[in-house]
Amino acid sequence: MTNSANRFSTLPDADALLEFDQRHIWHPYSSATNPTPTFVVERCEGSYIELSDGKKLIDGMGSWWCTIHGYNHPRLNAAAEKQLKSMSHVMFGGLTHRPAVELCQKLVALTPSNLERVFLADSGSVAVEVALKMAIQYQASRGKSNKAKILTVRRGYHGDTFGAMSTCDPINGMHHLFARSMPTHFFADEPPMGIDRPLTPHDLASARSILEVHHKEIAALIIEPIVQGAGGMRFYSAEYLSALKALCEEFDILMIADEIATGFGRTGQLFAVNHADVQPDIMCLGKAITGGYMTLAATLCSEEVATTISQGEAGVFMHGPTFMGNPLACAVACESIELLLETDWQSNVTRIETKLEELLGPLRSAEYIADVRVLGAIGVVELENSVSLNDIQPALVAEGIWLRPFGKLVYMMPPFNMSDEELSILCKGTANVLEKLHKN
């Protein structure tokens, strides 16, 4: 054991934790030699993250789209505790259990009516891998093994595993680093921005021309409906999504809706496809599915996809993670969904949308702000220039705010029960920090 490991076991104060952390632990997209500022969290409650020095930060990130009910929710805690008493985990091969069945009942009932089969996965990226494999196995099972490539649009983000990464935007998805090891797919132009922007014939020209030439090689289109998240926080119209679905049908390819970030109310509809009344053939869910308590994801597909795969060469769908259907996660997910549906979540999301527009909208006139856009409980401030995390993160923390900007994007997706007063503190504090950074 190294010195710092020894110290960790005997001296778990915040400084020792941080020292060990910086010496030994990878964080998301982190450098081992030049770590970004990292803060030790002691506890979280409602809309707040409490640091080890007692400082409370108002959380604008919902822990990356997940905590729709806020932290440390008594109902979710109780559901986890109750489930722990019977089993936290049991394998899913040959066994099933109430939490998984109840969760899948809810998912089948709430998602578009054609989606009838659920595959429970461990994380968003795995749910995307599962979706891609489903599409490819489906095509092979109907005698179309050549249809094994994926079509997507630029500026998308679908996860960090190889299959998912290969469908992320080729430029900001860092394809070149892994180019020799990664499958290559087809990229159409990004959707034009603007929720209300009328569709023009040009918008789908690039997707159409790829399909005209390559449809015999393409199994499916994967897309984040309405909101492109980590690839640029871009919002596009329901009309565009519907037109893309029509194109999928015309060229006999499946549509995979990646609702991992948008699912469970974030955009103002329970699922973002509902803005367009589109029925995807496959849908991925994750993040907010457990209310942010633990990792769980799901890939749903139509009966047609499921039965075709099952009547194909393999006779089974070829995927089965160890922690599939984890009962603890399923029990909390059931409770989180019940909680969501019991509350007037849609009014809450509309309230947040109005408040974010009111509080962030005036920033549009600042010279250092390129754009402000708001949809549902998502607020995005796009800066003219990229901001360094080393500068902005400590400044936000000093202001009592937790946000995790990237590049030119300072964005927020608060829990749905964040109060107007808290939203006001969050947005005004963010505006103060941006102005101070601009002046320096």
State the residues that interact with ligand PMP by CB under 6 A.
123-125, 128, 157-159, 224, 229-230, 258, 260-261, 286
Active site residue 236: no
State the SS3 of the chain.
CCHHHHHHHHCCCHHHHHHHHHHHCCCCCCCCCCCCCCCCEEEEEECEEEECCCCEEEECCHHHHCCCCCECCHHHHHHHHHHHHHCCCCCCCCCCCHHHHHHHHHHHHHCCCCEEEEEEECCHHHHHHHHHHHHHHHHHHCCCCCCCEEEEECCCCCCCCHHHHCCCCCCCCCHHHHHHHCCCCEEECCCCCCCCCCCCHHHHHHHHHHHHHHHHHEEEEEECCCEECCCCCEECCHHHHHHHHHHHHHCCCEEEEECCCCCCCCCCCCCHHHHCCCCCCEEEECHHHHCCCCCCEEEEEEHHHHHHHHCCCCCCCCCCCCCCCCHHHHHHHHHHHHHHHHCCHHHHHHHHHHHHHHHHHHHHHCCCEEEEEEECCEEEEEECCCCCHHHHHHHHHHCCEECCCECCEEEECCCCCCCHHHHHHHHHHHHHHHHHHHHC
**From the CB of residue 171, how many other CB atoms can be counted at a distance below 10 Å?**
12
Q: How far is the CB of 413 from ligand PMP (least distance, A)?
A: 11
Q: Which residues are CB-neighbours of 141 under 8 A, at least 6 positions away?
A: 308, 309, 311, 312, 313, 314
According to DSSP, the β-strands at 227-228 and 234-235 are antiparallel
State the nearest-atom distance from the C-beta of 373 to ligand PMP, in Å: 17
371 is catalytic: no
Q: At its nearest, how many Å lie between ligand PMP and the CB of residue 64? A: 6
The phi and psi torsions of 150 (rounded to 5 degrees) equal -120, 140
Instruction: Find the shortest distance in angstroms from Cβ 142 to ligand PMP.
Output: 27
Q: Which of 372, 348, 355, 160 is nearest to 264 (CA)?
A: 348
In the set 59, 122, 169, 258, the catalytic residue is 258
* Smaller CB separation from ligand PMP, 140 or 296: 296
Name the catalytic one among 71, 138, 157, 240.
Answer: 157
- The active-site residue out of 29, 82, 277, 420 is 29
Q: Catalytic: which of 203, 287, 293, 411? A: 287
Nearest approach in angstroms of CB 119 to ligand PMP is 15
CB of 285 or CB of 395, closer to ligand PMP: 285
- Please, which residue, 296 or 372, has the CB nearer to ligand PMP? 296
Please identify, using beta-carbon distances, which residue of 107 and 425 lies nearer to ligand PMP: 107
Q: The tokens of 8 are what?
A: 């960790």
The least distance separating ligand PMP from the CB of residue 267, rounded to whole angstroms, comes to: 12
Question: Is there a catalytic annotation at residue 258?
Answer: yes
CB burial of residue 79 (10 Å; 0-12, 13-18, 19+) = buried
Shorter beta-carbon distance to ligand PMP: residue 230 or 243: 230
| Residue with smaller CB distance to ligand PMP, 125 or 302 | 125
In angstroms, give the least distance from the CB of 162 to ligand PMP: 12
Q: Of all residues in this chain, which one has the CB nearest to ligand PMP in the complex?
A: 124
Nearer to ligand PMP, 328 or 434 (CB): 328
Query: Which residue lies nearer to ligand PMP by CB, 59 or 224?
Result: 224
Minimal distance in Å, beta carbon 438 to ligand PMP?
28
Q: List active site positions.
A: 29, 157, 258, 287
